Amino acid sequence: MVEARDGERLRVVFAPTPPSTASGGGSVWGQPEVLFRPAKGSWDWAAAGKLFIPVENLEAEPVTIVLRIDGSPGQELSGKVAIAPHDAGDLAIWIGAPSPRAMGMIAGPAAAATGTMPVIATEGAVDPSHITSVRLGIARPSTAQHMILGSLHTEPPGEAEKNAYDGIVDGFGQFRHGSWPEKISSVEMLRARGAEEARNLTGLLAHAPKRDRYGGIDTAGGFRGSGYFRTERRDGRWWLVTPDGNPFFSIGMDVVQPGGATYVEDREFMFRDLPARDGELAAHWSERDDRRGLGAQRGRGFDHGHAFDFYRANLERKFGADWQAHWREETLARLEAWGFNTIGDWSEAELCAIHHLPYTVPLSPEGEFAKVSSGIDWWGPMPDVFDPDFAAAVDRMADHAGARFRSDPYLIGYFVDNELAWGSGSSTDPHQRYSIAVGVLAAGPQSPAKSGLHRRALRALSRAATPRRGLGDPARHLG
């Protein structure tokens, strides 16, 4: 809602989104927004290409703005930017910039410019010569948000934007143009910072709360100790219990492992001072391939070929040849000092095996079986549970996991598969919201899921069908 107008400045109130409309009411986004449209036709920003929108956050808390630019039918460019409390500046987006994902990044590099708030984590693309609208909103605010917006203006991108990806990564894997207190400029600084952190961790651990050896609340029992993690319901509340019989509140972190290779092949221009492939850090070069067709990889460039692991290289620079043992020691000290008592999924097996902190294990059914696509398949399609081969795959998974972990008291439990998509939960379109069901119904006769649903539907219709209702043969109603 426009609350007031002062020349070209608008004082705007973004109304809170009621829970009943949080998944799709109020606008095409399901969020309050301001819509800018040309007086007629469309805007042609091909020559300018860089859009600025003056904004001022009047709130005492940060606000995340969602910006969307619409072009020809089916074309849109969107991104987000956070604005600090009582901050003001120009939202800036280069409409013709390369897609960050196509450059192998989540967000593009931002050229330094005073007073601008660059929108760099963008998705989609539009033709800048045909812009039909600009939308600026706040996703599902819980309270009213007050802002001041100025008029839109454009200008051509400068040389800094056009060459924004050149040499942006330094020899330590850091953003070369940025500056922050923890940024490393030499191996000597890296080692000095490591020694300083080790001293700080020792001090933090000396004042850590008292826990049992599994990280549970040390209450001298309170529950029956079984020698393994277990659950117990007491006074209407479920508790997780350590092997020693103490209550356990799990605070964990996933993917605790020394690794994170960065693809370099065909984009060497983005990296400065890359270590030589046959030099002292040669062990951290590898040949990799992530072209698996997952939804998470759609539109992603630079996903195979030569890769360099800056994190492991920096660990070797910091600790020397025996960096792996030092990393495990430091990592466990960090987790405990920071208040964590659980090593989460996808973490290094050797770290879990030290038995300093309890851990969880990720599992996936083992073998070939039919799958069902939701059309999203971010981490892969859904297993077809109607396929007999799926049951056999689950049995193999359970047998192997039991043989490996059944005697380990530090194991909390298992997670099976991860983030499989049923559909787009935020969509108001039933075909997208229930896309996995739509996919099953559209599948051919070879689909075990469709056959299973068909049999169940026949039984349900048979039970419901009577001569009085005139249903006749229930099979003909399924088509």
Note the pLDDT of residue 421: 85
Domain boundaries, the chain: 2-162, 187-341, 364-479
Note the pLDDT of residue 99: 86
HEC states along the chain?
CEEEEECCEEEEEECCCCHHHCCCCCCCCCCCEEEECCCCCCECCCCCCEEEEEEEECCCCCEEEEEEEECCCCCEEEEEEEECCCCEEEEEEECCCCCCHHHCCCCCCCCCCCCEEECCEEEEECCCCCECEEEEECCCCCCCEEEEECCCEEECCCHHHHCCCCCCECCCCCECCCCCCCCCCCHHHHHHHHHHHHHHHHHHHHCCCCECCCCCECCCCCCCCCCCCEEEEECCEEEEECCCCCEECCCEECCCCCCCCEECCCCHHHECCCCCCCCCCHHHEEEEECCCCCHHHCCCCCCEEEEECHHHHHHHHHHCCCHHHHHHHHHHHHHHHCCCCEECCCCCHHHHHCCCCCEEEEECCCCCCCEECCCCCCCCCEECCCCHHHHHHHHHHHHHHHHHHCCCCCEEEEEECCCCCCCCCCCCCHHHHCHHHHHHHHCCCCCHHHHHHHHHHHHHHHHHCCCCCCCCCHHHHHC
Note the pLDDT of residue 429: 82
pTM: 0.83
> For 2-162, CATH number?
2.60.120.430
- pLDDT < 70 stretches in the chain: 3-4, 18-30, 111-115, 220-221, 465-479
